[in-house]
Chains A and B, each alone.
Chain A
Amino acid sequence: MLTNGVRCFCLYQTFLPTLNMKHRIVLFLLAALLPFAACKDEDPVTNTNNFTLTFRALYDGMPLEKYTNYSFGDKQVLYDKFNTFISNISLIKDGQEVLLSDIEWVNFTPDSAPDDRAVEVSFKYSVPDGDYTGLKLGYGVRADLNAKKPSDYPVGHPLYLETEYWPGWSSYIFTKVQGKVDLDGDNTPETSIFYHCGSDAVYNEATMNRTIRVAGDAALVVEFDLKKLFTFNGQLLDLTVPSNQVTSHDASNIALGQKVMDNFKNATILQ
């Protein structure tokens, strides 16, 4: 998964800059403790950055590509932007959450992408060996983190990003999906659609059950399928209705944003 260096943006863009002093100290302490751990065989094995979590974007089971027409019921859609914040990324072990990360920004469509294919976004975490039973994800920005703004965060932190903050809502934009839909039937999508979802009320968490065995290096792939994200109870969102085409900028009108964010868990696939 990490073999394709160009498409793995994790180490260069996201992981290293977010490795703050605290993480470094923890890593250092872990490293210092290693020799002792080795003497007591009942202690869990401590690994360093052994666990790779990769996010992928799909449309209808296929890797997402920007500016590519997809059928959406009897309509054609295309997308040019998809990014999202994920909080409280945790593995579950013996009913307990083992926190891997407070927050990550998963940007499938960075400016630096060499072509239109959505990039895979990977993060590395240090995870002790053992059998885990699930993965928990928080869709959006957890309330305590969302209570602050970009200038409160250090350079390189995922929440330092000003482009993903909207002062009008006093909130980060948890998820951005943008594109166009063809409503006049000429097979060229012309009508803008955008879903900018934010504010504490739309944050939600879900746990996906799955046996994840960690023994040294391990990896897990999480996929988000945009077609599933816009399918509600088996029905595709009706894009002919203007109020379904764009999320409102009115902070008191979050219905569509809420609907999309609540549906994220149904659009999540563990590979």
Chain B
Amino acid sequence: MGSGRVVLLAIAAGVLLLARCTKDDPAPGSGCDLTGIPYNPTPYTILKPDHFPQVPVPAGNPQTAEGVQLGRRLFYDPILSGDSTMSCSSCHLPQGSFTDNKAVSKGIDGIEGRRSAMSLLNIAYATNGLFWDGRAAALEDQALLPVEDPIEMHATWTQVVGRLRNHSEYPELFRKAFGISNCSQITKELAARALAQFERILISSGTSKFDLFTNGDAEFEDEELRGKLMFFDEGQNASPALPDAQCFHCHGGITLTGNNYFNNGLDSVGALSEFVDIGRGEVTKNPSDYGKFRAPTLRNIALTAPYMHDGRFATLEEVMAQYNDNGFGVSNEDIFVQQIGFPVTVGSTVHYSGLTAQQTKDVIAFLHTLTDTTFVNNPDIQDPFQ
């Protein structure tokens, strides 16, 4: 083989490489290099009330001011949906504590999903699986899913990443957040990391009436106080004694959820396989988990109607009416939903009375003290495009 041929081959190979490069990389050649833009990420400390536990942040995705800003922008940008009409915020609106106040959500094609959009308040603390059934492990994994979900944003990541790489502003924002040197390095994983960083700052302000009361900075009305005592099963020393509402067993802790999975007694089924939505069972495949769902946070619950995974209840009164029935005796129903009220011995067994109308009102009054308007109005978490 003569040297001329080698040179030719080398040139051909070089051209091929270039061609491949342009194909992979939809950004215009010169616009691709980002190294001229400084990369000085600013560590970001998540603000939280003093009485809240430390916020878990995965080592692989440290919070930076630039990452949070990018994530916020992506969260509110319809660029993530197939027809560029829908953003994460279409279903997770700040005024609804990051829900859409619909029973079930509709995607870009107008198709209704089967479940209700979940509040993202204090989502950073949810480390026992995400979604109603816990099928996503971390926010970084979760954020990848709505974009390609046919009944949600119905795009493909290839499409979305192409748009981001060719965008007039995003390459610079990705550079500042993650230090990429070329827009071809924008990936869905980096977009998901930015979204997760933004979601982790969605923490309570600590100024709900409940928080102020907890810290000794506000007083409760009588009915709120009675509601709180029943909610936390602390009413036996009240005068007259109050029954246990048992709520805190599942909705306990600072975020008012332990993020565990329960059958909270919503449906009367003959066999566990008869649940319309088997929830947690879809993930574990264990029949004993059929019909279990993750207990959601009750913070801002007055702002997130309708309620439950399928939005079946329009009001908190309807929710309480359900709980007052003490379940249906389905085999995997949690024992605590069967023990709301005072114990009543009937023959050899013990039943529970449910709450009286006044006690029910008291618990609902307490639930209203969990409203955190400072959080929903926090300027740092609003739509940056407005």
Interface-facing stretch out of A39-47, A129-137, A188-196? A188-196
Q: How far is the CB of A154 from chain B (nearest CB, A)?
A: 6
Q: Contact: B332 with A67, CB < 8 Å?
A: yes
Q: How far is the CB of B370 from chain A (nearest CB, A)?
A: 15
For B348, the closest partner residue in chain A by CB is A183
Q: Within 8 Å of chain A (Cβ to Cβ): is B62?
A: no
Known: A155-B56, A192-B335, A245-B350. A250 touches B236 (CB 8 A): yes
Q: Within 8 Å of chain A (Cβ to Cβ): is B386?
A: no
Q: Contact: B236 with A162, CB < 8 Å?
A: no
Known: A80-B332, A154-B54, A192-B338. A162 touches B232 (CB 8 A): no
How many residues of A are counted as interface, with CB atoms below 8 angstroms from the partner's CB atoms? 40
Interface residues of A in 166-197 (CB under 8 A from B): 166-168, 178-180, 183-184, 188, 190-194
Alpha-carbon distance between A245 and B129 when the two chains are bound, in angstroms: 32
Q: Contact: A151 with B52, CB < 8 Å?
A: yes
Q: Contact: A242 with B56, CB < 8 Å?
A: no
Interface string of B121-134 (1 = CB under 8 A from A): 00000001100001
Interface string of B141-185 (1 = CB under 8 A from A): 000000000000000000000000000000000000000000000
Q: Contact: B237 with A190, CB < 8 Å?
A: no
Q: Within 8 Å of chain B (Cβ to Cβ): is A236?
A: no
Q: Contact: B348 with A111, CB < 8 Å?
A: no
Q: Within 8 Å of chain A (Cβ to Cβ): is B258?
A: yes
Please, which residues of chain B bring their CB within 8 A of the CB of A160? Answer: 53-54
Known: A190-B349, A191-B349. A163 touches B260 (CB 8 A): yes
Please, which residues of chain B bring their CB within 8 A of the CB of A240? Answer: 348
Known: A168-B232, A184-B348. A163 touches B254 (CB 8 A): no
Alpha-carbon distance between A178 and B253 when the two chains are bound, in angstroms: 19
Q: How far is the CB of A14 from chain B (nearest CB, A)?
A: 13
Please, which residues of chain B bring their CB within 8 A of the CB of A190? Answer: 329, 349
Among candidates B232, B252, B288, residue contacting A67 with C-beta atoms closer than 8 Å: B288
Please, which residues of chain A bring their CB within 8 A of the CB of B244? Answer: 249
Q: How far is the CB of B349 from chain A (nearest CB, A)?
A: 5
Interface-facing stretch out of B31-39, B69-77, B339-347? B339-347
Q: Within 8 Å of chain B (Cβ to Cβ): is A66?
A: yes
Please, which residues of chain B bring their CB within 8 A of the CB of A166? Answer: 248, 252
Q: Within 8 Å of chain A (Cβ to Cβ): is B98?
A: no
Among candidates A67, A167, A184, residue contacting B349 with C-beta atoms closer than 8 Å: A184
Q: Contact: A150 with B253, CB < 8 Å?
A: yes
Please, which residues of chain A bring their CB within 8 A of the CB of B129? Answer: 111-112
For B128, the closest partner residue in chain A by CB is A111
For A179, the closest partner residue in chain B by CB is B335
Interface residues in chain B, defined as those with a beta carbon under 8 Å from any beta carbon in chain A: 51-56, 128-129, 134, 232-234, 236-237, 244, 248, 252-255, 258-261, 280, 284-286, 288, 329, 331-332, 334-336, 338-339, 343, 345, 347-350
- Write 30 A-B pairs (CB below 8 A) sorted by A numbering: A67-B332, A111-B128, A111-B260, A114-B286, A115-B286, A150-B53, A151-B52, A151-B53, A153-B53, A155-B56, A162-B252, A162-B258, A163-B258, A165-B252, A166-B248, A166-B252, A168-B234, A179-B335, A184-B347, A184-B348, A184-B349, A191-B349, A192-B335, A192-B338, A192-B350, A242-B343, A249-B233, A249-B234, A249-B236, A250-B237
Interface residues in chain A, defined as those with a beta carbon under 8 Å from any beta carbon in chain B: 66-67, 80, 111-116, 150-151, 153-156, 160, 162-163, 165-168, 178-180, 183-184, 188, 190-194, 240, 242, 245-246, 248-250
Given A67-B332, A111-B134, A151-B54, list of 18 further CB < 8 A pairs?
A112-B284, A114-B284, A151-B51, A151-B52, A151-B53, A155-B53, A155-B54, A155-B56, A160-B53, A163-B253, A163-B260, A167-B232, A168-B232, A178-B335, A179-B335, A193-B335, A242-B345, A245-B350
